[in-house]
Amino acid sequence: MFNSTILEVIIGLVFLYLLFSLLATFVNEIISTFFKFRATQLKKAIKNMMDNDAEEGRKLFDKFHKHPLIQSFVKKKGKGFPSYIEPKKFANVIVDIYNEDKISKTKDEIKETIAKLPEHNYLRHILLNYIEKGEDKAEELQNNIEDWFNSVMERTSGWYNRYIKVWTLAIAFVIALLFNFDTIHVYQRLSKDSKVRKELVQYADDNIDKYTEYVKIDTTDDRTDTALIEKMDSLKKEIDVIIDEEIASIEQMAGIGWKKGEFNKVFKDFWSLTFLFKLFGWIITALAISLGAPFWFDILNKVMRLRGTGKKEKIQQSTT
């Protein structure tokens, strides 16, 4: 189906996309962790759930935020916000807040307070129903709140994933530019130079196994922030390894990187064919990198297997 030259070119390009996708992943994780993207998005979602624009909604969110269970997840007590809350714990906090009100208020007073939440608010609806149904429905209340939280988090995760993909694409383009990773140029080099092509394929075959653990990092997973904060130094070290060892090893071989005087030559005229071809090559690279390391890891294993050099027993199906 494919001759060896085409397969080797594909393997070379896919391996480079994998390598630079890993770099983009680590950079993305550091940025999202540093700026607390996950915590910020979760906080915004919960504020919307409680109708923070309404007075009672703000009071409810304030109680929620100050609850000991929520504060146990943050480092800056009273200020920080967790990046992930389990549905059960969310429901527990809401029920605790309700139970605290029961100690100091009558049933009618509680109903009056809850009724001040906007009519479209789902929490208002389930709490008022709970009060009418009685204490034997406590488990039902817990389950309803959990279901509500899960449905909102599904939509929030979708928004967050799209947000991260935009960041990933931007980071990928910057990486393509900084390393002068022009897909068109690399393709031409690999197609014409059999020695370079075979060396890169061999390098990919020798090194593919060590990326198995790296590709498991998922920048769209909104539950990993706490662990990643602990691993900031580790992530920075991985970036150093990829740049200093991996990329440095194949830069010259693959025709990546800026040669002396090339940068000024390319950017001398923005509308020259030289610049436009370079720009197109960078865009292709950025789009490829943005697909993510798991995607390219799977493709590389499959192409290696097709060529007959892959280690089948070590191939694992990764999820994007």
- Binning pLDDT at 50, 70 and 90, where does residue 143 land? confident
- 238-280 pLDDT per residue, tens: 667 777 777 777 877 788 888 888 888 888 877 778 888 999 9
Predicted pLDDT of residue 226: 47
Contact 180, 158 (CB under 8 A): no
Q: What's the whole-number mean pLDDT along residues 106-117?
A: 81
Measured CA distances, 96 to 67, 68, 141, 169 (Å): 9, 11, 12, 43
Q: Name the packing angle between helices 194-207 and 4-34 (round to 10°).
A: 50
In order of 109, 231, 235, the CA distances from 227 in angstroms are 43, 7, 11
| 180 close to 258: Cβ distance less than 8 angstroms | yes
Q: What's the start-to-end Cα distance of the chain, in Å? A: 28
Top-confidence residue, 133 or 55: 55
* Angle at CA of residue 233, ends 166 and 242, nearest 5°: 65
Amino acid at 169: L
> E strand or H helix at 11, and its extent?
helix 4-34
144: left (phi over 0), alpha (psi -120 to 50) or beta: alpha
Least-confidence region, from 57-66, 74-83, 204-213, 221-230: 221-230
CA distance 131 to 113: 12
**pLDDT recorded at residue 77:** 64
Going by the DSSP 8-state scheme, the letter that residue 259 receives in this structure is: P
pLDDT of 30-87, one tens digit each?
888 788 888 888 999 999 888 777 788 888 899 899 998 888 888 766 678 888 899 9
Amino acid at 24: A
CA distance 59 to 62: 5
Q: How confident is the model at residue 163 (pLDDT cuts 50, 70, 90)?
A: confident
Q: Kindly tell me if the per-residue pLDDT of 287 is higher than 90.
A: yes
The angle that helices 183-192 and 4-34 make with each other, rounded to 10 degrees, is 150
- pLDDT at residue 14 is higher than 50: yes
Q: What is the 3-class SS of 232-253, one letter each residue?
A: HHHHHHHHHHHHHHHHHHHHHH
Q: Is the pLDDT of residue 95 over 90?
A: no
pLDDT of residue 98: 82
Mean pLDDT of the chain: 81
